């Protein structure tokens, strides 16, 4: 099977392998109409010692936190681990040369039956590391800053905004990406209404200032990234400190290096922001990519 899809029944703790190309999601599922559900995308790196799911545990911890934020049932880690491992085995059997790919897994709200009870099936399928990602890794990206429309640190006062949960509602993020493209940039950089730098639509930002790695505080209103935390966990061996900070756009422009980091991209240099060139630190870009990809 070249395009495997696994459908997961959380109620029974079972799953089945099927074909990504055939119709699977009932249109009545609330994830389809409301974006009401959660997901994760993990990078799988295949080396001499087999396949590694990068930051597997960090992703699942966030998946559980997202489920809790949305009042979804607590996902069963054993079940989802079996799903991910089965999918890896399918990809490896179909294409033994495939040494790097992603797996996207999701838990939707489901559909409401006649009695109002909710039931739904989760899913998982492989996603390729495509040319777009490869080009960004090699050449870096440009970005334009965009107002996110809320003040920093609003999340604790407004938990219904689900800031910090990885939900299936990405229409705003997609729109920001299109807006960036229409303005000749590869990426958007969200900034809070009161001027604090937050994140990209699908990535976190890290900058280097001297011996310090700095990244926006997740509490300011963004998704706490697994890749950012992986890099921070390795900062000491790179001879750097790692800190959360409130950054302005000028801080980013004046940085000694800046990166968009996320599971599939790994770490890509942010080389221009709002038309201003940013220093590119190629050595650290390479180190970050090696650390994330485990090679
Ligand atoms: N921020 C947003 C909004 C994202 O969608 C993502 C990833 O998809 C990230 C940050 C980076 O998170 P991670 O490193 O866990 O992939």
286 has a pLDDT exceeding 70:
yes
- Ligand 1 environment, Cβ below 6 A: 41, 199, 201-204, 223, 225-228, 261-263
Helix (H) or strand (E) holding 53: strand 50-53
Give the C-alpha distances (Å, rounded to integers) separating 209 from 229, 244, 279.
18, 13, 11
Strands 257-262 and 187-191: unpaired
* Among 59, 218, 261, 263, residue to substitute to test ligand 1 (most atoms within 8 Å of Cβ): 263
Task: Dump pLDDT digits (tens) for 147-167.
Answer: 999 999 999 999 999 999 999
Retrieve residue 185's tokens.
Answer: 């940039």
Q: Residue 222's closest CA among 206, 251, 200?
A: 200
Task: Dump pLDDT digits (tens) for 68-123.
Answer: 999 999 999 999 999 999 999 999 999 999 999 999 999 999 998 888 778 889 99
Tell me which of 179 and 48 has the higher pLDDT.
179
pTM: 0.96
Share of the chain above pLDDT 90, in %: 91
Output the DSSP codes for 117-181: -EE--EEEEEEE--HHHHHHHHH-EEEEEEE-SS-TT-TTT-GGG-TT--BS--HHHHHHHHHHH
pLDDT at 2: 67
Q: Which residues make Cβ contacts (< 8 Å) with residue 283, sequence separation at least 6?
A: none
Cβ count within 10 A of residue 294: 12
pLDDT at 264: 98
Task: Dump pLDDT digits (tens) for 199-208.
Answer: 999 999 999 9
* Alpha helix positions (H), the chain: 30-34, 56-69, 77-94, 131-139, 171-182, 226-233, 249-253, 282-293
Q: What distance in angstroms lies between residue 117's CA and the mean position of ligand 1's atoms?
A: 31
DSSP one-letter code for 287: H
Q: What distance in angstroms lies between residue 95's CA and the mean position of ligand 1's atoms?
A: 27
Question: Once rounded to an integer, what is the mean pLDDT over residues 214-235?
Answer: 98
């Amino acid at each position: 099977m070249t395009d495997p899809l696994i459908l997961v029944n959380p109620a029974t703790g079972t799953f089945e392998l099927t074909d990504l190309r055939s119709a699977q999601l009932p249109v009545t599922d609330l994830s389809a109409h409301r974006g009401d559900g959660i997901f994760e995308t993990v990078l799988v790196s295949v080396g001499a010692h087999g396949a590694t799911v990068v930051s597997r545990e960090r992703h699942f911890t966030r998946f559980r936190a997202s489920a809790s934020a949305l009042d979804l049932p607590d996902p069963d880690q054993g079940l989802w681990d079996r799903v991910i491992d089965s999918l890896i085995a399918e990809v490896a059997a179909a294409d033994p040369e495939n040494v790097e790919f992603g797996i996207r897994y999701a838990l939707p709200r489901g559909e409401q039956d006649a009695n109002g009870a909710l039931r739904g099936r989760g899913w998982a399928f492989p996603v390729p590391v495509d040319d777009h990602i490869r080009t960004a890794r090699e050449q870096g990206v440009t970005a334009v800053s965009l107002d996110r429309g809320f003040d920093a640190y609003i999340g604790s006062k407004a938990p219904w905004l689900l800031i910090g949960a990885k939900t299936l509602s990405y229409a705003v993020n997609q729109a920001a990406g299109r807006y960036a493209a229409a303005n000749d940039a590869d990426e958007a950089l969200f900034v809070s209404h009161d001027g604090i730098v937050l994140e990209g639509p699908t990535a976190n930002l890290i900058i280097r200032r001297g011996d310090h790695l700095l990244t926006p505080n997740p509490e300011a209103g963004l998704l706490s990234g697994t890749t950012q935390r992986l890099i921070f966990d390795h900062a000491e061996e790179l001879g750097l400190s790692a800190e959360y900070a409130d950054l302005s756009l000028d801080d980013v422009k004046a940085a000694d290096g800046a990166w968009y980091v996320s599971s599939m991209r790994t770490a890509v240099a942010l080389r221009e922001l709002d038309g201003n060139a940013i220093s590119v630190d190629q050595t650290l870009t390479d180190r970050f990519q090696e650390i994330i990809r485990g090679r």
